[in-house]
Structure 1
């Protein structure tokens, strides 16, 4: 099911944010960063890169809200992990 959520997420972004997906991969381009999405058998992994801390927080908030809308039946657990 993660691939279905990836598709739904990209479709939700599409009206206001350029978003593309194919199979198990997707990408959304914001004015202040981008999000790369990958679906596996059990997980949807999101990699978010932004211009600054404020933009990163904004993207995490927006993406989290959209993901919760897509997965309202399952109530997703979103764990943001920083990498350097």
Structure 2
């Protein structure tokens, strides 16, 4: 399994997470859970790989995985493109780190 993670700082992290999941849900299995005063969590399954998302402490935490490097690259590209589009006013940039996110 190949994996990568990123932390994107934004006070609107929860809003972006929900927006991403709602958008993806039109074409792929995507779910999210909004909770008052707690972390917001989301999941998108692209078939070739998946992305777990968490909004907490002013950051959008992304953890992607796929069975192969090509699938992981495609998932990362889709996530990165959509974060940039939805957060264009903030000019957010996703900087990926190889491997799983630290627990």
**TM-score (normalizing by structure 1):** 0.93
TM-score (norm 2): 0.77
Rounded to whole Å, the distance in 2 between the matches of 1:76 and 1:60 is 15
Q: Which structure's CA Rg is the greater one?
A: 2
Q: Write the distance in 1 (CA, Å) between the matches of 2:19 and 2:85.
A: 9
Check if 1:35 corresponds to 2:46.
Answer: no
Structure 1 regions of 5+ residues with no counterpart? none
Give the number of equivalent residue pairs: 84
Please state which structure has a larger fraction of its residues in helix.
1
Query: Quick one: which of 83, 93, 96 aligns to 1:77?
Result: 93
The structure 1 segments of at least 4 consecutive aligned residues displaced by more than 4 Å after TM superposition are: none
Q: How many angstroms apart in 2 are the aligned matches of 1:28 and 1:56?
A: 13
The question of whether the paired residues in 2 share the 8 Å contact of 1:12 and 1:66 is answered with no
Structure 1 position 41, deviation (Å): 2.4
RMSD value, Cα: 1.1
